[in-house]
Chain A
Amino acid sequence: MPEVVPSTEAYLMLSGTLFAVGLIGVIIRRNMITVLMAIELMMNAVNINLVAFSHRFASLEGQVFTIFVITVAAGEAAVGLAIIIQLYRLKSSINVDEASELNG
C-alpha cells in the first residue's frame, strides 16, 4: 500500500496563498529590504509547486529545477541587496518611493 501524503491540490493551495501574500508585500511595502524579502517568499511558493508535482509524477526534474531556482534566488538577493546599499548611500533612505529619478 502506498504511503498516503497530502494531495498535490493541498500543496498548490498553500503555494498560491504564499505567492499572494508575497505579491501583496511587494506592492504595499515601502521598505526596499522588505520588498526583497517578499520576492523571496514568492520564489519559495514556486518551489513548493515544483516539489509537489515532482512527487506526483515521481520524477526528479522538479527537484533539480528547485535547486536552480534557489541558485537564482541567491544571486538575485546578493545583487538586490548591493543595489539597496548603494541607493542608501546615495539617498540616505531605502524607501521605494524615493527612488524616482527615472520617472519621466
Chain B
Amino acid sequence: MNVAFLVFFVVGTIAVASSILVVAMRNPVHSALFLLLTFLCVAILFVVKDAEFVAAVQVLVYAGGIMVLFLFVVMLINVRHLPDDRTLSRFWKGGVGVGLAIFLLLATVVRTGTYHDQNPNKKLLRSTASHRVRKVTNPDGSVTRKRVVRHRTVGNSEAVGMALYQDYLVPFEVASLFLLVAMIGAIVIGKRELSAPEEETSPDFILKRMEKEKEVKEAMRKEAMSA
C-alpha cells in the first residue's frame, strides 16, 4: 500500500459520495457545490495518473468556469419561488433500475475484459518528439538527407502542448470554431426580447431603458439616412 493507492481510495470514495449527493440534494445550489467537490476530486485522480495538465484544465474550466455559469443561472432563476413538492420524476424507480443495470454491465465488462499490455515507458507521457532533417555524408562521398526524430523529456504540460499544436492542430482549430459557435448560440438563445404581455408585467426601469434604446436607434437611423 503506497501513497498513490491511499490517495486513490480516499479521493475516489469522496468523489463517488459527492456525486451521489449531487443527484440527491433538493436545492440546486447544494448540488452545484457537491459537483464542484466531485470535479476537484477527479482532478486529483488525474494527477495520480500523470496527467497534470489535464488536471489543471479540469480545475480551471470545470471548477472555475462551468460551475460559475451554473451558480449564475441558479441565482438568475429564483429557486425559492418554484414549487418544490416533488423533486423526483414519476419514473424514479425505473431510472434507478436502468442506472444499476448499466453499472452492472460496465462492471462485468471491466472485470472480465482482457486488456492490452501496459506500456512500461511512462516517460513518453512527458516527452516531446521533434523532427529534424540532417545531412549525412555516406562513405562513398555522396550526401543524403535523413529525418531524425529526437525525443526530449520535458514536463507534461509541454508534452501535451506540443501534441496539441503538432499532431492535433486541425482538431484544435475546429474546437475553437466550436466554442465560437457555442458562444454565438448561447447569446442568441439567451437574448431577451420583450413580447406584448411581458411588457405589461416588467418593471418600469426596463421599459424606460427599452424606450430609450429605441429612440437612440431611431435617431441613428435618421442620421444615417440624411448622411
Binding site for B on A (CB under 8 A): 2-6, 8-14, 16-25, 27-31, 33-34, 36-38, 40-41, 44, 47-48, 51-52, 54-61, 63-64, 66-68, 70-79, 81-86, 88-89, 93-97
Contacts and interface: CB of A to CB of B under 8 A. Distances in A.
Nearest to B53: A63
Contact of B163 (A19, A60, A71, A95): A60
Contacts of A94: 77, 82
A56 B117 CA distance: 8
Contact of B159 (A37, A60, A85, A95): A60
Given A28-B89, A51-B54, A85 B76 contact: yes
Contacts, number: 248
Contact of B48 (A5, A9, A47, A75): A5
B144 interface: no
B92 to A, nearest CB: 4
Given A5-B4, A33-B73, A72-B178, 10 more contacts: A12-B110, A14-B12, A30-B88, A33-B77, A55-B50, A58-B119, A63-B160, A66-B54, A75-B182, A85-B190
B65 to A, nearest CB: 6
Contacts of A54: 49, 51, 125
Interface residues of B, number: 87
7 contacts: A19-B103, A20-B100, A25-B22, A30-B86, A41-B35, A63-B125, A86-B190
Contact of B22 (A38, A64, A93): A38
A92 to B, nearest CB: 8
Contact of B103 (A16, A25, A68, A79): A16
